[in-house]
Amino acid sequence: MKNIVIFASGSGSNAENIADYFKDSKTVKITAVFTNNANAGVISKMEKFGIPCVVFTKEDFKSREYFTIKLYQYRPDLIVLAGFLWLIPNYLVNAYPNKIINIHPALLPKFGGKGMYGMHVHEAVKAANETETGITIHYVNTKFDDGKIIFQAKTILTEQDTPETIAQKIHELEMNNFPVEIEQILSKVN
């Protein structure tokens, strides 16, 4: 059995989709969702799957000893950031080399970096008159949206697209691709 721990800050539609994808798996288990937001939608979404949610503070996250022990209780083989908005501290990147991945709602290296999340990304894509956008799954390092790219999928944009329709196209790409890619990545993790 391989274990996934998901980190999420928001509504949790990706976490829910991943949980649904693996719910009957004999080889992959989501052992916990970690969130920095006690009001995050992801918390209620995990109830039906019986997946425990761990809420943590900035202080908890800064404390190497506390957080390492807390996380290790869930034995992650892979840590999946699904709409998680804090930078991952050095000690965690070092403790889980090539075992932390993130999904970003644009074609990195474009439209990444601090402040580039959710609708901000789609608004920037629209403002730049891009003819395509997409999703990027990448390994996590200590900078925002900067690690080695594992997978990208694209969608075409027209002049009629708005930030809202772009968000919808990205959502579909995320739903269709993220769990499958996680399964692929996990099959190579030792």
Which spans of this chain sit near ligand GAR (rule: CB under 6 A)?
8, 10-14, 82-83, 103-105, 116-118, 121, 145, 170, 174
Work out how close the CB of 135 gets to ligand GAR at its nearest, in angstroms, rounded to a whole number: 7
Work out how close the CB of 52 gets to ligand GAR at its nearest, in angstroms, rounded to a whole number: 18
Active site (annotated) includes residue 122: no
Work out how close the CB of 118 gets to ligand GAR at its nearest, in angstroms, rounded to a whole number: 5
Closest residue to ligand GAR: CB criterion: 83
Work out how close the CB of 106 gets to ligand GAR at its nearest, in angstroms, rounded to a whole number: 8
Contact between residue 53 and residue 43 where contact means Cβ atoms under 8 Å apart? yes
The structure tokens listed for 64 are: 């190497």
| DSSP, residue by residue, 97-144 | TT-EEEEESS-TTTT-STT--THHHHHHHHHTT-SEEEEEEEE--SST
* Rounded Cα–Cα distance for residues 22 and 33 (Å): 14
Task: Name which of 17 and 76 has its Cβ closer to ligand GAR.
Answer: 17
Cα torsion angle, 133, 134, 138, 141, sign: positive
Task: Name which of 116 and 149 has its Cβ closer to ligand GAR.
Answer: 116
Task: Name which of 67 and 111 has its Cβ closer to ligand GAR.
Answer: 111
Instruction: Give every CB contact of residue 84 below 8 A, 6+ residues apart in sequence.
Output: 7, 8, 9, 36, 102
Task: Name which of 146 and 183 has its Cβ closer to ligand GAR.
Answer: 146
- Give the chain's length: 190
The catalytic residue positions are 104
